[in-house]
Amino acid sequence: LYHSVLEKFEKVVVDKPHAFLGALAIIYNNIASLCILEEKWGDAEKWLEKCRDIIFREPFIRWKENRPSLTYYGAFYEVTMFLLNYIDIIQRRDAEKTLEYLEYAIHLLREYSLGIMSYIDLTEFINRYNRLVRKFVNIVVELYRKNESRSFLINAVEMLEELKYVPLIRDLSQQIMPEDAEKIRMLESEIADIISRMYITRCDERRYLESLLLDKIKELDKCKAKMLDIIRPPKQKMLSGVFRPNTLFISMTLLEIRKSNKKSTVRYPFIIWISEKYSGCRIVEIPIDEYQDQLFQLQEIAWSLETLKQFMTELTKHLPRELLEALDNAILEKSTIILSLHGPSHDIPWEAIDPSIVLGGEERPIGLRTLVIRLYGGVIAQEEPESLQLKPLIIGVERPCPKSYNCDAEVLPGISEEVKAIGSLLNVDPYIINGQSLEDARNIHREILSSINKATVFYFSGHGFSETPTPLSTINYLLFFRGGKTDLRIFPSDIMLRDKPGFLAFLNACRTGRGAEGRSILDFRGGFIHSLIGSGFRTVILSLWSVWSKTAKTFALELFRRLKSADASEAIISARKEILKYGALFGVDVFAFVIYGDIEGLEELRKVIL
């Protein structure tokens, strides 16, 4: 059937290529798919090369700096279908070329994500994204098994991190003004129309159309460059410094696996670990979504240091022994451990992993022995911290309502003294909310929102909330004031309005780090992690669960005081250990506070305040 249809299309495409080239490429690709199912690899490659001859030129894509770019938005379907099939073929004989074509697919997926404006577009994006993640992971596992090359794994993980970053770009693209996105769609439509007209015009008019086409393409490039300047950091900084000596880098990507009954799916992490001495990769059978649910339940009903140890013991037993040996070596050599997480794995306190559970010996949770840093989407500030000036914004909310109101349950005694002490170290007067009138609180709230844009240190101590109205959405906010029917809050979106980088953001409030990423691409909103990292703070400190008031105060004061006499890494570990003196019930908060971004922000702040 395909061959009979093919004969007709090959005849008609000679006369009307603009109308039938896309259909012909799809036919070639579908025949190749049938050959792949029948394991006729040679035949499949032959048909895919025919498809490539059409796909890899206009009117589908054009090449810029050896990278493909969609000539128009609608070409995405044909191009990615070809790439996914072609990758299946070439992985059997050429690892380097396989990674090259995977990079093409990732680049086009990123580009496509910028223009999603309908549910149909979003569905297409999700389908291609999930397929590409599965394909990428399977290929990396197979190729690494064959050669166990550290350099191959570094190349693979750089691409994998970029692939994980794609949905974040889709989410960040919401910052773009609608008229800018609409202009891009209009230009793409005009370019597609010009290309179609070029196939059926005379030579003299064709020259005019070629000139017009070049002008439109230049205009389109300018519009896209404007968007990318807003939402994408420089490529060379995506994983800057993570493979340096004395560093263990661990990348975790969730992979959707269909269960044996084929009626449901489970997500397992694909983990890559790389240091000077250790490297490896493995799909690990840890159902992250189930572990996240269990963790949240424990935090509500029976949360203590012993409960956390039991939870982490069960999880650690599933981790590859080779990974635990790499972690143990990082502890021994005081190496920095960098975690690049994905989805609900952000909510797991990986800092509490203890290699002794499997390897034996004394207890040695990694977060109490060496520095553990988390990455979020590869996003870092575009200005080095040493070029910044100290502009602290310190906020403490002790009594978030007028004194005439009954809100004793929400009063946090001691916060005023806490923020005054931190303000003294940073030589700034803090904003303190402690029973003012609604009008006074509203004025302070307005002043703070305008000051966030300029602050290079942002510290908040008070109540934080994380609500999940649906399984696919999480809302995070800081409570600033309650007055009658009026609630004043600080949302992640308030911080995303910043346009300057900063040293440190520390939200010393409950659950400010919860729900970094949703359970699906439809909910890739990162709450405060997303907004603080994306708006330029180099070091970000947040809490994973509801912390006790006295442990939160202890951690913060110890951290800032130790910065006067120790480097940033030692200050963080010392602040954690200080919490242990409160015993098992309160001591669980030793692993509540997590560090995102780049420790250099905190280190440069230390140099400034000395």
Return the sign of the alpha-carbon dihedral for residues 109, 114, 119, 121.
Answer: negative
**pLDDT tens profile 28-56:** 888 888 888 888 989 999 989 988 988 88
Does residue 170 register a pLDDT over 50? Answer: yes
Q: Percentage of the chain with pLDDT > 70?
A: 81
Q: Provide the CA 228 distance to its chain's centre, in angstroms.
A: 16
- Cα separation of 274 and 252, whole Å? 12
At residue 430 the predicted structure's pLDDT band, cuts being 50, 70 and 90, is very high
CA dist., res. 286 & res. 75, Å (int) = 38
Q: What is the DSSP letter of 114?
A: T
Full DSSP string of 520-569:
SGGG---HHHHHHHHTTEEEEEEESS---HHHHHHHHHHHHHHTTTS-HH
More confident position, 604 or 494: 604
Q: Is the pLDDT of residue 234 over 60?
A: no
In this structure, whether the domain defined by 385-609 belongs to CATH 3.40.50.1460 is answered with yes
- Which position has the higher pLDDT, 3 or 315? 315
Model pLDDT, residue 498: 63
pLDDT in tens, 508-529: 999 999 876 654 444 444 578 8
Cα(402)–Cα(406) distance, integer angstroms:
8
Span 316-371, pLDDT tens digits: 999 999 999 999 999 999 999 999 998 889 999 999 999 999 999 999 999 999 99
Closest CA to 45 of 75, 82, 10: 82
Q: How confident is the model at residue 384 (pLDDT cuts 50, 70, 90)?
A: low
- Which residues, listed in sequence order, are joined to residue 434 by a DSSP beta bridge? 399
pLDDT value, residue 522 = 41
* C-alpha span between 118 and 129 (Å, rounded): 16
Q: What is the pLDDT of residue 12?
A: 59
Q: Where are the alpha helices (DSSP H) in 302-362?
A: 305-316, 321-332, 356-359
- Res 476: pLDDT: 81
Q: What is the mean pLDDT of the chain?
A: 83
Q: Which of the residue ranges 383-392, 416-425, 570-579 would you say has the lowest mean pLDDT?
A: 383-392
Lowest mean pLDDT across 49-53, 188-192, 240-244: 188-192
Provide the residue ranges of all domains of the chain, joining segments of one domain with +: 56-232, 247-375, 385-609
Helix (H) or strand (E) holding 335: none
- Report the predicted TM-score, pTM, of the whole model to 2 decimal places: 0.83
Q: How many residues does the chain have?
A: 610
In 228-375 the beta strands, taken as DSSP E runs, fall at: 247-258, 265-274, 279-283, 336-340, 372-375
Average pLDDT for 572-598: 95
